[in-house]
Amino acid sequence: MRLTSLLTLGFLLAAPANADPLFVASDSTPSFSAAQCSSTKSDSAPVTDSTSCGAVGGTVNGSSFSTFGHIGVSSDASSASGSSLGNGISSEALFRDVLFFSSTNPALTGADIQMSLLLQGIMGFDVSAGGAGSSIEGSLSVSGTAPSFFFFRFFDDSSGSFSVEQNPFAVAGTLGSTIDAVLTSPVFHVDFDGPTQLTLRLQSGSSTGGDASAFSHFGSSFAFASTPFLLPDGVTVSAGDYLVDDHFIDPLAAVGVPEPDSWMTMLLGFCLMGLTVRRRRRVYSPDKAQRPT
Determine whether 225 is exposed, middle or buried from the number of CB atoms within 10 Å of its CB (0-12, 13-18, 19+).
Answer: middle
Contacts of 282 (CB under 8 A, 6+ apart): 288
The reply to whether 253 falls in a domain is: no
pLDDT tens readout for residues 120-163: 999 999 998 888 999 999 999 999 888 999 999 999 988 878 99
Residues 262, 244 within the same domain? no
Give the residue, 51 or 260, on which the prediction is more confident: 51
Residues 200, 290 within the same domain? no
Cβ contact 242:226 at 8 Å: no
Neighbours of 156 (CB within 10 A): 22
Q: Specify which residues 237 forms β-bridges with.
A: 101
Cβ contact 125:212 at 8 Å: yes
Percentage, residues of the chain above pLDDT 90: 51
Residues 244, 280 within the same domain? no
Domain count for the chain = 2
The reply to whether 117 falls in a domain is: yes
The rounded mean pLDDT for the chain is 79
Phi, psi of 182 (to 5 degrees): -105, 125
Residues 213, 263 within the same domain? no
Confidence at residue 2, expressed as pLDDT on a 0 to 100 scale: 41
Distance CA 81, CA 94 (A): 35
The reply to whether 176 falls in a domain is: yes
The reply to whether 119 falls in a domain is: yes
Residues 47, 169 within the same domain? yes
Q: What is the mean pLDDT of residues 270-276?
A: 43
The reply to whether 217 falls in a domain is: yes
pLDDT band at 36 (very low <50, low <70, confident <90, very high): confident
CA atoms within a 13 Å half-sphere pointing along the CA-CB vector of 33? 3
Q: How far is CA 78 from the centre of its chain?
A: 23
Residues 168, 229 within the same domain? yes
* pTM for the predicted model, two decimal places: 0.78
Give the residue numbers spanning the domain of 278.
Answer: 258-293
Percentage, residues of the chain above pLDDT 70: 73
CA distance to 59, 206, 210, per residue, from 85 (Å)? 12, 14, 8
Neighbours of 108 (CB within 10 A): 13
Phi, psi of 258 (to 5 degrees): -60, 140
With CA atoms as reference, report the closest residue to 71 among 96, 43, 42, 105: 96
Residues 208, 80 within the same domain? yes
Give the residue, 271 or 191, on which the prediction is more confident: 191
Residues 132, 34 within the same domain? yes
Residues 174, 99 within the same domain? yes
Cβ contact 194:65 at 8 Å: no
Confidence at residue 92, expressed as pLDDT on a 0 to 100 scale: 92
Q: What is the mean pLDDT of residues 229-245?
A: 94
Cβ contact 205:29 at 8 Å: no
Residues 193, 68 within the same domain? yes
pLDDT tens readout for residues 73-117: 999 999 887 666 778 889 999 999 999 999 999 999 999 999 999
Q: What's the one-letter identity of residue 170? A: A
The reply to whether 205 falls in a domain is: yes
The reply to whether 106 falls in a domain is: yes
Please state which of the ranges 86-95, 99-108, 182-191, 251-260 shows the lowest mean pLDDT: 251-260
Residues 124, 267 within the same domain? no
Phi, psi of 161 (to 5 degrees): -145, 180
User: Mean pLDDT highest for which of 79-83, 170-174, 204-208?
Assistant: 170-174
Residues 209, 273 within the same domain? no
Cβ contact 28:89 at 8 Å: yes
The reply to whether 86 falls in a domain is: yes
The H-assigned helical ranges of the chain are 260-284
